[in-house]
């Protein structure tokens, strides 16, 4: 089964909201054994929607639409699908009764334009909406299938999981299982070279996706059952882990270098503090993004100026004069000062030039020094990052947390 996703909504085209629906559906289709070739986004314009729908069906067996199921005049997804299949719209009394009950429950009046939400192409398989007023449906004719879902993510996900996913699973007859391996501190090109021969397998397969400072390796297998697919993947996964070594830090789409460092701190019952200059608090924020950070994060200091580095952290004037704040010596004193005054088991410091101005031949923009201090001493490392100011700061945070992770892992 070849599928395409057709996202309907002018707000998506204008960038007012992110298209998280397409991202979610893409991931789930892969797991269900449905091949996805293309995403298309179209505004709330019936002419362009008709054209996009016809184009999608010229390539795909299944088109999944999101959005355009509301009561207003520009919500025309069902109507357009019905016209494509040359099917009249019919009132579904069960959907109408459910709509009346839902509106009554939330204290909203039933208006004439709400009635269109209970109209469906003749013969459609109706998917009730447990979270809102807009039911979806599955329309099938002449070997083509349209699965019509609401746009609000919480409504779409509920309908997809409760109704569309089981239906697709029965139709596809196969199961695709994936493992996502998170690898930090090695470039995509070098990693691809190290794993080159592993890309030649048809089942299971290996693919790499690049992110800031890290690479996501996806291993996927197609089989009749989830258990069989997992068993097929395991040898390839183990070989990748053997080759990447300490660059691997976790698995899963939700894994992150900050979560990995936090989990290690919590497992050791230890604490950390941060001393930040160019990252401006992002290190602390990265840990606080995760529940339970209070178990490990002691405190954090943003010492952007030289005066603050001296007054708060105790960085010596001699160090700043002889080496400047953009130096390993400064990073070391920042980390040691933060650990001393906080009483934390570990401290991490970051200082450098995020740009876009202020660089020199000796210290170009992107030069960042990171230090990690613990009971056995302090070590610092020099980095040279490329890109804009935000990207450099993002990379600095990632590498700082990775250095902490490696120390906590005894590496």
Tokens of 186: 């090695």
Over residues 274-278, mean pLDDT: 98
Q: Which CATH superfamily is domain 2-172 in?
A: MoaB/Mog-like domain (3.40.980.10)
Q: How confident is the model at residue 283 (pLDDT cuts 50, 70, 90)?
A: very high
In angstroms, how far is the first alpha carbon of the chain from the final one? 47
Q: Is 329 left (phi over 0), alpha (psi -120 to 50) or beta?
A: alpha
- Using DSSP, state whether 366 is helix, strand or coil: coil
Q: d(Cα 261, Cα 266) in Å, to the nearest integer?
A: 9
- 175-251 domain in CATH 3.30.70.2860? yes
Q: d(Cα 21, Cα 166) in Å, to the nearest integer?
A: 18
- 258-408 domain in CATH 3.90.950.20? yes
Q: d(Cα 249, Cα 270) in Å, to the nearest integer?
A: 19
Q: What is the pLDDT of residues 263-275, one digit of tens each?
A: 999 999 999 999 9
How much is the pTM?
Answer: 0.74
Q: What is the pLDDT of residues 104-161, one digit of tens each?
A: 887 888 888 888 889 999 999 999 988 888 899 999 999 999 999 999 999 999 999 9
Q: Which residue, among 331, 379, 385, has the nearest Cα to 353 in the 3D structure? A: 385
Contact 132, 106 (CB under 8 A): no
Residue ranges per domain, the chain? 2-172, 175-251, 258-408
Q: Could you tell me which residues come within 8 angstroms of residue 334 by beta carbon, excluding any fewer than 6 positions away?
A: 275, 277, 303, 309, 313, 315, 349, 351, 371
């Amino acid at each position: 089964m070849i599928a395409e996703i057709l996202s309907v909504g002018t707000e998506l085209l204008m960038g007012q909201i992110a298209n998280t629906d397409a991202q979610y559906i893409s991931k789930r289709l892969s797991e269900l054994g449905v091949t996805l070739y293309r995403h298309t986004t179209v505004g709330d314009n019936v002419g362009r929607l008709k054209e996009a729908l016809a184009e999608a069906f010229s390539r795909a067996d299944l088109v999944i639409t999101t959005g355009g199921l509301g009561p207003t005049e520009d919500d025309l997804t069902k109507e357009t699908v019905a016209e494509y299949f040359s099917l009249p719209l019919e009132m579904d009394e069960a959907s109408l009764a459910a709509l009346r009950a839902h509106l009554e429950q939330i204290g909203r009046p039933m208006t004439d334009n709400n009635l269109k939400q209970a109209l469906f192409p003749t013969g459609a398989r109706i998917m009730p909406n447990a979270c809102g007023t807009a039911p979806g449906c599955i329309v099938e004719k002449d070997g083509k299938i349209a699965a019509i879902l609401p746009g609000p993510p919480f409504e779409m996900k509920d309908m997809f999981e409760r109704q569309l996913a089981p239906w697709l699973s029965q139709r596809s007859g196969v199961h695709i299982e994936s493992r996502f391996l998170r690898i930090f501190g090695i470039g995509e090109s070098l990693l691809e070279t190290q794993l080159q021969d592993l890309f030649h397998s048809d089942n299971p397969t290996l693919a790499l996706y690049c992110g800031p400072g890290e690479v996501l390796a996806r291993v996927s297998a197609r089989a009749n059952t989830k258990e069989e697919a997992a068993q097929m993947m395991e040898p390839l996964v183990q070989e990748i882990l053997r080759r990447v070594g300490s660059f691997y830090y976790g698995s899963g789409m939700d894994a992150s270098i900050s979560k990995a460092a936090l989990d290690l701190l919590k497992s050791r019952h230890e604490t950390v503090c941060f001393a930040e200059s160019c990252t401006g608090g992002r290190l602390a924020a990265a840990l606080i993004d995760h529940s339970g950070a209070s178990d490990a994060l002691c405190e954090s200091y943003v010492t952007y100026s030289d005066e603050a580095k001296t007054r708060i952290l105790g960085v010596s004037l001699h160090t700043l004069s002889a080496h400047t704040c953009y130096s390993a010596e400064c990073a070391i004193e920042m980390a040691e000062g933060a650990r001393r005054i906080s009483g934390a088991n570990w401290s991490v410091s970051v200082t450098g030039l995020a740009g876009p101005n202020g660089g020199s031949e000796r210290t170009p923009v992107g030069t960042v020094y990171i230090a990690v201090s613990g009971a056995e001493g302090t070590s610092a490392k020099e980095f040279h990052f490329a890109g804009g100011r935000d990207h450099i700061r993002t990379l600095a945070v990632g590498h700082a947390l990775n250095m902490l992770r490696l120390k906590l892992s005894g590496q």
